[in-house]
Amino acid sequence: MTNSTEQDRVLIFDTTLRDGEQSPGATMTHEDKLEIAALLDEMGVDIIEAGFPIASEGDFLAVSEIAKNAKNAVICGLARSAFGDIDRAAEALKHAPRWRIHTFISTSPLHMKYKLQMEPEQVIEAIAASVSHARNLTDDVQWSPEDGTRTEPDFLCRAVETAIKAGATTINIPDTVGYTAPKESARIIAMLKERVPGIDDVVISTHCHNDLGMAVANALAAVEAGARQIECTINGLGERAGNAALEEVVMAMKVRNDILPYRTGIDTTKIMRASRMVSTATGFPVQYNKAVVGKNAFAHESGIHQDGMLKHAGTYEIMRPEDVGLTESNLVMGKHSGRAALRDKLRQLGYEVGDNQLKDIFVRFKELADRKKEVYDDDIIALVGATADGSADKLELVSLKVICGTGGPAEATLEMEVDGKEAIATEHGDGPVDATFKAVRAIYPNNARLQLYQVHAVTEGTDAQATVSVRLEEDGFIATGQSADTDTVVASARAYINALNRLALRQQKSRPGAEGSAA
């Protein structure tokens, strides 16, 4: 319940691990989900939607584990209106100190007719039954009318009233297909506040998709109209064009607090770390001109802008880089730096790594420092993303030699360890990367389909590291591998092998009787 003394407090409901992961190709491993959830909890997210427990055994186990590890945040699980969904969510969530069931059903004419094939009266009955059932299991129940912004106003009011009477404590209005605009978003919230009995006793939430590029604007308009919870994701991840971006709504309210007089509990200095972590886990790079967390968000190339910045940063920067946890990229590490200095630098950048991972990062760092004149913070961050957690891998690159040019097909000679045994293969292909991947498959035959191959430079110059992302799919399992190296082909080989290792691990954990499961 929201009282008058808390009207300026907006709850942040993060659904990166549920709606964000539904973005095609953004599947995360079990370990990725636990790590991201821990950081979201640490940075002050109020509610973490950890997954859709009925969707798969992996989702159930991830939600359950996140619930057990929660410290401050409310842990939420999504459920359709079916009792089986709701019971499964409760089972996964029950170990959390505080937990919420989020149940939903479609309410727009289009969805009711073609998706549900239900009459409006049947939908109303389902709302009452599902919310009541969830409320018997927990006192924290959120209900959503899917496709709410395309629902007829009278029916939306009736559906919301039904959910409140059945025991819902949060009413979330989803703009499921990103159809609405700011004025309309605000008008829907205002209408509910005016017409629905009991609406003042619950929290009103907004969930906006970005199909027309207005998700953040729509979310903030809803807040101005009375919503006090925003559903959002790190980097705006999500289905189709994504969701309202957490970093954007939070920083908008912080920077423009004069016209958006609301506060959140988010520690904004952890935003960059969260952005990088999600990008690494999904293999989705953040676009350079992305608001708040993009590489160019605090970069100034125009001479006029540079002149203004030298005179006063406020001329062209409305927020400080350090407000979002961004450190300046300086040459502070070199070939003579030791392990303790590297660990300290990693802590400055927001990374706490175990001894095994530090050892791996340090070896890669020394190799990089020998080959690269200037080692920047971004280079070190890339190394973090390119190293595993220190566990033993099934496959490991030993050496790679490539011959390529204009004279004919490329040739790759690859030496690799498979379960500790070395093997070598030479293959030809349409370019060095194609030849290298063929050599990997010659040593380790597999039917994995390459869904994504992506390269981007970490810093400037011809000696810049390339970060390569590779996403593979086999038998319904999806895994993303990443690596960074000044040699793009070497980075490609390591990323491909990394993805194969993750794929093998996920397949192993999915087998009956295996301890744990893929998420």
Residue-level pLDDT at 336 = 77
Integer CA distances (angstroms), 89 to 47, 72, 375, in order: 15, 19, 47
pLDDT at 300 over 60: no
CA distance 444 to 392: 17
pTM given for the model: 0.83
Residue-level pLDDT at 325 = 86
Name, in order, each residue with C-beta under 8 angstroms of 324's C-beta and a sequence gap of 6 or more.
Answer: 247, 251, 268, 269, 271, 272, 292, 293
Bigger pLDDT: 389 or 439?
439
**Is 207 labelled as part of a ligand binding site?**
yes
Residue 430: DSSP 8-state: S
- DSSP-derived secondary structure for 349-392: TT----HHHHHHHHHHHHHHHHH-S-B-HHHHHHHHHHS--SPP
Residue-level pLDDT at 330 = 47
pLDDT at 470 over 70: yes
Query: Using 50, 70 and 90 to split pLDDT, how confident is the model at 112?
Result: very high
pLDDT digits (tens, 9 = 90+) for 160-215: 999 999 999 999 999 999 999 999 999 999 999 999 999 999 999 999 999 999 99
Q: Mean pLDDT over residues 120-145, rounded? A: 98
Q: Number of C-alpha atoms within 13 angstroms, CB side, residue 397?
A: 23
pLDDT at 354 over 50: yes
pLDDT at 306 over 50: no
Note the Cα 322 to chain centre separation in Å: 22
Residue-level pLDDT at 4 = 42
**Is 111 labelled as part of a ligand binding site?**
no
Integer CA distances (angstroms), 511 to 441, 478, 505, 506, in order: 23, 15, 10, 9
Query: Using 50, 70 and 90 to split pLDDT, how confident is the model at 307?
Result: low
Bigger pLDDT: 471 or 462?
471
CATH class of 9-282: alpha beta
pLDDT at 460 over 80: no
Bigger pLDDT: 383 or 323?
323
Helices and strands (DSSP H and E) totals, the chain: 16, 14
CA distance 249 to 266: 11
Residue-level pLDDT at 331 = 42
Residue-level pLDDT at 242 = 96
Give the lowest-confidence range in 12-21, 35-44, 308-317, 369-378: 308-317
pLDDT above 70 coverage of the chain, percent: 90
Residue-level pLDDT at 132 = 98
Residue-level pLDDT at 115 = 95
CA distance 397 to 387: 13
Does the CA dihedral 252-42-480-509 come out positive or negative? negative
Give the lowest-confidence range in 117-131, 236-250, 367-381: 367-381
Integer CA distances (angstroms), 518 to 229, 235, 505, in order: 31, 23, 8
Residue 77: DSSP 8-state: E
Q: Mean pLDDT over residues 330-348, rounded? A: 76
pLDDT at 1 over 70: no
Residue-level pLDDT at 332 = 55
All structural domains of the chain with their residue ranges: 9-282, 296-325, 327-391, 395-510
Residue-level pLDDT at 370 = 83
Q: Mean pLDDT over residues 234-249, rounded? A: 97
Residue-level pLDDT at 208 = 98
Query: Using 50, 70 and 90 to split pLDDT, how confident is the model at 43?
Result: very high
Give the lowest-confidence range in 260-269, 313-322, 393-402: 313-322
pLDDT at 297 over 50: yes
CA distance 506 to 30: 9
Give the CATH number of domain 395-510; options: 3.30.450.40, 3.30.160.270, 3.30.200.20, 3.40.1050.10. Answer: 3.30.160.270
Q: Mean pLDDT over residues 409-414, rounded? A: 95
Nearest Cα to Cα of residue 469 among 233, 273, 282, 276: 282
CA distance 176 to 268: 27
CA distance 256 to 261: 8
CA distance 446 to 441: 6
pLDDT at 49 over 90: yes
Nearest Cα to Cα of residue 28 among 66, 69, 71: 66
CA distance 92 to 262: 33
Residue 207: both structure tokens together: 């969930």
**Is 463 labelled as part of a ligand binding site?**
no
Nearest Cα to Cα of residue 413 among 434, 430, 431, 435: 435
What 3-state class would DSSP assign to 204?
strand
